[in-house]
Amino acid sequence: MSVSSVPRFVPFTDFKSFHSALRVQLAQDIELLFDYAKLPSPLADACRYVMTGQGKLVRPLLVASSFATVDTSICTSHYSSVLADDRSSDHTAAPPNLETQLESDSRYDMCRRAALAVELLHTYSLVHDDLPCMDDDDLRRGQPTAHIVFEESTAMLAGDVLQTLAFEVLTAELPSFAPFDSHIASQLLAIFAPRARRMVSGQMLDLNAEATADITQADLEAIHRDKTGALIEAAMLMGGVCAGATAQERIALQDCAQHIGLAFQVQDDILDVTTTTDDLGKPAGSDEKLDKSTYAKLMGVEAAKDYAQSLFDDGRTAINRELGSHEVARNNDLALLAVIEWLWNRKK
């Protein structure tokens, strides 16, 4: 059984508490993972440095909020069924038995593993993106990039090992985690691996598109459905799988993720030209410096904002259609919709 020493991030009550609880849980789990991995110095130092900065935790939030949303849906459906069966009776439902509690702990801990996996993979991609041979940036998450603080070779290896740990964590024997569920783990790997590959393919397409004058919106979307959208898609599907999402719920999560993934990239392109380096926590104007193809450049800032709004709206619709119809699952009660609202209002 899970013996995590921090409060759980479920059930969802409000976004601020949810975000805070997830941040605390993830910080503990990162330390547990690095203690388990026993990496040599300075590799261990570099990994801790890049994984413990003040990132937004968008992808772990999407894992956790998808888990909480589907979990609410399942619990609500079960409660409604019990209520209908027992409406004529005055007895109350029995508390969960040990088997049910163990299953709940196992699913929650698989969600913890999934949240770690997507953050590890995302951070690896950032470390490599910042290298001199790529974007050559010196600031990330409000602090100097890994290759500035450590040797460039150490930064490269840190990215490498974070990528391998992203897969290992799904089945590793970690203290304070319930033993991994092999059925869930196999589904998580089937979701995660191809989308990790798509993320890298998207990065290559993005590099190929630099200084390309005749790029179209369809070209941009093809790039960012992979570069940015694939891991967002993985995060939401993995959270749903950990909670036992039905086939229809998985379709809704994937539909939502495809819209939110594009919306997130459109927002990034807008923020790069409208926000300061201090606010972003990374160099503003870097897209222009690298002559990247962006939505802001292609469509103009105002049209790009309208496009982002329409994508967020479509993402909300997908979730409301399949997961927003239960009695207690009103909009403000769904963790995933709260995270989407936070993403829409973000300034960095």
Q: What's the sign of the alpha-carbon dihedral 174, 176, 180, 185?
A: negative
* Residue whose structure tokens are 């290992």: 168
**Average pLDDT by consecutive 10-residue portion of the chain (348 residues)?**
67 92 96 97 96 91 96 54 42 54 84 98 95 89 90 96 98 95 98 98 90 85 95 98 96 97 93 81 71 86 94 95 63 81 88
Asked whether 107 and 243 are in contact (CB, 8 A), the reply is yes
Task: Name every residue whose Cβ is closer than 8 Å to that of residue 108 and which is 6 or more positions away in sequence.
Answer: 2, 8, 10, 67, 242
Distance, CA of 126 to CA of 46 (rounded, Å):
13
Q: How far is CA 263 from the centre of its chain?
A: 14
Residue 278: the pLDDT is: 73
Is residue 8 domain-resident?
no
Is residue 10 domain-resident?
no
Q: How many domains does the chain have?
A: 1
Residue 95: the pLDDT is: 53
Q: Which of 210, 222, 320, 322 is nearest to 262 (CA)?
A: 222
Residue 110: the pLDDT is: 97
Is residue 202 domain-resident?
yes
User: pLDDT per residue over 208-250, tens digit each?
Assistant: 888 777 889 999 999 999 999 999 999 999 999 999 999 999 9
The DSSP annotation for 245-261 comes to --HHHHHHHHHHHHHHH
List the CATH number of the domain containing 258: 1.10.600.10
Residues of the domain holding 21: 15-82+97-344
Is residue 301 domain-resident?
yes
Is residue 302 domain-resident?
yes
Is residue 87 domain-resident?
no
Is residue 125 domain-resident?
yes
Is residue 228 domain-resident?
yes
